[in-house]
């Protein structure tokens, strides 16, 4: 890994990227601001000061040149299905560590498949250092530690608190692919909203449906548990709409008018636009083994964007201060469970498994 303290945020002028960049500068961490479009990048750089680098990801030599003197890159430009591969290719060539804030299952799996190459080249690849999946990854590991014989993991959450346009776009793209679960160690496709159930979150009992959340990919690497499902709390009427509408209409091709679909997605999820909500998020998790034993836990976190800013910058700081070896890592594999538990506003506790 490069012995430099330089680090770069790609997608620095997006909603989350700009929030992270501003907080980084406030903390004295001076990122190189980068992205595809020159104008918004210059506006942000004029506000924050420091270096800026505008480059498109379509030209590998340009990307390689842009990151070759950096210790790490934090990719905040989603959908990550369109950005991660090009940046990772450059990082593997230059010895630059890679971080991102994705929760996209296909992206996470593709990064995991590059583990051996990353090991040989001494390059850490650590995706999902935001709300997807830092808190749930820690919860999964803690539950597995409490029941080492666990063969199934169920996670649930009440939402991210608010939605930016970029996150909404990623949700729409993800919905095109239907649902995902992990079964006997393999990720399989299921209909969106394949299962529904009521979950006893810490604050209240809510209906929830299965969703293709990032932990379907990452929790397998963190815990070795072969059967994984993730649920998202939604009103029962919204679950019915999703099961009827999304597979039939959104499963075809991405609408060219993404902004017209934002109100629909927010209405179904019951979430305000980004910056308009700051509620706490409830998480729930349960593991069980083949003998019928189970363990349960709950967690509360800040709004998803607030938590992402904290954990992404904590990951940057941890990498700048360490000599982590090369390879693919989940957040908990790289930084331990305390990485999530010591984040401001995060509260974890075990619960009575008889109440689920």
Same domain, 274 and 332: no
SS (H, E, C) the chain: CCCCCCEEEECCCCHHHHHHHHHHHHCCCCCEEEECCHHHHHHHHHHHCCCEEECCCCCHHHHHHHHCCCCEEEECCCCHHHCHHHHHHHHHHHCCEEEECCCCHHHHHHHHCCHHHHHHHCCEEECCCECCEHHHHHHHHHHHHHCCCCCEEEEEECCCCCECHHHHHHHHHHHHCCEEEEECCEEEEECCCCCEEEEECCCCEEEEEECCCCHHHHHHHHHCCCEEEEEEECCHHHHHHHHHHHHHHHCCCCCCCHHHHHHHHHHHHCCCECCCCCCCEEEEEEEECCCCCEEEEEEEECCHHHHHHHHHHHHHHHHHCCCCCCEECCHHHHHCCHHHHCCCCCEEEEECCCCC
| Range name among 28-32, 51-55, 175-179 with the lowest pLDDT average | 175-179
Q: What is the mean pLDDT of residues 110-126?
A: 99
Q: What is the mean pLDDT of residues 221-244?
A: 91
Residue 164, pLDDT above cutoff 60: no
Q: What is the mean pLDDT of residues 319-332?
A: 96
Residue 235, pLDDT above cutoff 90: no
Task: Report pLDDT digits (tens) over 7-45.
Answer: 999 999 999 999 999 999 999 999 999 999 999 999 999
Same domain, 239 and 145: yes
Contact indicator for 341, 138 with CB cutoff of 8 Å:
yes
Mean pLDDT of the chain: 89
For residue 152, being part of any structural domain is answered with yes
302 or 246, higher pLDDT = 302
Same domain, 45 and 90: yes
How high is the pLDDT of residue 239? 84
Residue 170, pLDDT above cutoff 80: no
- For 74, the domain range is 7-130+306-336
**Residue 246 binned pLDDT confidence (cut-offs 50, 70, 90):** low
Tell me the percentage of the chain whose pLDDT exceeds 90.
76
How high is the pLDDT of residue 237? 86
Same domain, 196 and 237: yes
Residue 256, pLDDT above cutoff 50: no
Residue 293, pLDDT above cutoff 80: yes
User: What total number of domains does the chain contain?
Assistant: 2
Q: What is the mean pLDDT of residues 226-246?
A: 86
Q: Specify the CATH number for the domain of residue 230.
A: 3.30.360
Q: Specify the CATH number for the domain of residue 319.
A: 3.40.50.720
How high is the pLDDT of residue 203? 83
Same domain, 50 and 149: no
How high is the pLDDT of residue 353? 72
Q: What's the pTM?
A: 0.90
Residue 198, pLDDT above cutoff 50: yes
How high is the pLDDT of residue 173? 61
Query: Which pair of structure tokens corresponds to residue 281?
Result: 């998020």
Residue 327, pLDDT above cutoff 50: yes
Same domain, 180 and 328: no
């Amino acid at each position: 890994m490069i012995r430099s303290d330089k680090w770069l945020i790609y997608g620095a002028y997006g909603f989350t990227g700009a929030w992270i960049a501003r907080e980084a500068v406030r903390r004295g961490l001076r990122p190189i601001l980068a992205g595809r479009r020159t104008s918004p990048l210059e506006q942000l750089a004029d506000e924050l000061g420091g270096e800026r680098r505008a480059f498109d990801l379509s030209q590998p030599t340009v990307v390689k040149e842009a990151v070759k003197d950096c210790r790490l890159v934090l990719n905040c430009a989603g959908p990550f299905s369109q950005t991660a591969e090009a940046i990772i290719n450059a990082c593997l060539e230059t010895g630059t560590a890679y971080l991102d804030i994705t929760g996209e299952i296909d992206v996470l799996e593709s990064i995991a498949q590059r583990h051996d190459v990353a090991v040989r080249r001494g390059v850490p690849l650590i995706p999902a250092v935001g709300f997807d999946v830092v808190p749930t990854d820690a919860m999964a590991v803690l539950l597995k530690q409490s029941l080492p014989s666990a063969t199934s993991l169920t996670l649930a959450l009440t939402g991210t608190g608010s939605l930016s346009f970029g996150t909404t776009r990623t949700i729409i793209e993800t919905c095109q692919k239907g649902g995902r679960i992990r079964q006997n160690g393999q990720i399989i496709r299921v209909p969106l909203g394949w299962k529904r159930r009521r979950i006893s979150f810490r604050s209240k009992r809510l209906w929830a449906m299965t969703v293709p959340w990032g932990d379907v990919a990452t929790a397998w690497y963190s815990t070795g548990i072969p059967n994984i499902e993730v649920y998202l709390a939604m009103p029962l009427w919204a679950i019915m709409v999703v099961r009827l509408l999304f597979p039939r209409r959104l499963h075809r091709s991405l609408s060219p008018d993404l902004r017209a679909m934002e109100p629909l997605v927010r209405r179904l999820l019951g979430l305000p636009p980004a910056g308009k909500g700051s509620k706490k998020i409830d998480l729930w998790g349960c593991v069980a083994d083949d003998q019928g034993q189970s363990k349960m836990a709950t967690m509360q976190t800040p709004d998803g964007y607030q938590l992402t800013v904290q954990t992404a910058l904590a990951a940057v700081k941890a990498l700048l201060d360490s000599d982590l070896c090369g390879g693919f890592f989940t957040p908990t594999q790289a930084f331990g469970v305390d990485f999530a538990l010591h984040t401001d506003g995060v509260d974890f506790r075990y619960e009575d498994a008889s109440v689920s």
